[in-house]
Amino acid sequence: MQLFDLSGQRALVTGSSMGIGLALARGLAGAGAAVVLNARNAERLEAAAATLRDEGAAVETLEFDVTDAGAVRAAVDGFETAQGPIDILVNNAGMQHRSPLEDFPVEAFDRLMRTNVNSAFYVGQAVARHMIGRGAGRIINIASVQTALARPGIAPYTASKGAIANLTKGMATDWARHGLNCNAIAPGYFDTPLNAALVADPDFCAWLEKRTPAGRWGRVEELVGACVFLAAPASSFVNGHTLFVDGGITASL
């Protein structure tokens, strides 16, 4: 299926030492791409890379802090010079902090915004500057079901993921004319380390199973198809779109 073939492409996935990022890197590798894993923790990063290499993937690593604009620019520019082009970027790095809004710590709000929003701008801009020169590139930002919905205790996270959807539209508006495709994936509730507390809560699980038309948590592997589609020639005229992969939760009351 040439429409979904990523052979000869290189994909950088931020926050990819575990969870959704690692699953997406594995999926892109399965479609033929060479993958570049990113994280701040060198030990976890190398362990993830070793796992994918054992599975037959072509893997490189790039350790940098996505919330440090200077470090991002230096890492991306250095990699492009030494190793070659980054054809696909998946802005996956993110965090969560739960607290009633009236008690939400200011420092936690700032850290969450830097991690969830600033990082997508920093890495997206650094990579896009090279993509623009080549006249081609794919940027996939990871949004959330909270891009469209809210729940108690996570208002800043909801704001950050709404920002990601609109940043994606802005990227497409500015960069489509240069040959870039910029889209987002909005996962619903997936069993990941970020959601460990919710997965362990029987009451929440019961609510989620009742609230979601599919009646269950998502599996991270179920995000791979959307990511490969948005990275591949199959989505050549898709730009500025947020694709919800949520078991139908945003479609129903």
All domains of the chain in start order, with CATH: 2-245 (3.40.50.720)
CB 163 within 8 A of CB 121: no
Of 157, 189, 229, 244, the catalytic one is 157
Distance separating alpha carbons of residues 88 and 232, to the nearest angstrom: 9
The pLDDT tens digits for 107-158 are 999 999 999 999 999 999 999 999 999 999 999 999 999 999 999 999 999 9
Indicate if the alpha-carbon torsion angle 193, 114, 86, 189 is positive or negative: positive
CB 97 within 8 A of CB 18: no
Q: Which two tokens stand for residue 37?
A: 């894993």
| Least confident residue range of 151-160, 195-204, 212-221, 244-253 | 195-204
CA nearest 123: which of 177, 62, 186, 69?
69
Taking every pair of Cα atoms in the chain, the longest distance, rounded to a whole number of angstroms, is 52
Write out the E strands in 22-136.
34-39, 59-63, 88-91
Q: Which band of pLDDT confidence, cut at 50, 70 and 90, is reported for residue 11?
A: very high
3-state secondary structure of 208: helix
**Mean pLDDT calculated for residue range 93-98:** 95
For residue 20, pLDDT beyond 90: yes
Q: Which band of pLDDT confidence, cut at 50, 70 and 90, is reported for residue 227?
A: very high
Active site (annotated) includes residue 189: no
- For residue 53, give every residue at least 6 positions away whose Cβ sits within 8 Å of its Cβ, in sequence order, or none: 59
Distance separating alpha carbons of residues 17 and 223, to the nearest angstrom: 16
The pLDDT tens digits for 157-200 are 999 999 999 999 999 999 999 999 999 999 999 988 878 889 99
Q: Which residues pair with 35 in a beta bridge?
A: 11, 59
For residue 1, pLDDT beyond 90: no
Indicate if the alpha-carbon torsion angle 19, 120, 239, 132 is positive or negative: negative
For residue 75, pLDDT beyond 90: yes
CB 11 within 8 A of CB 33: yes
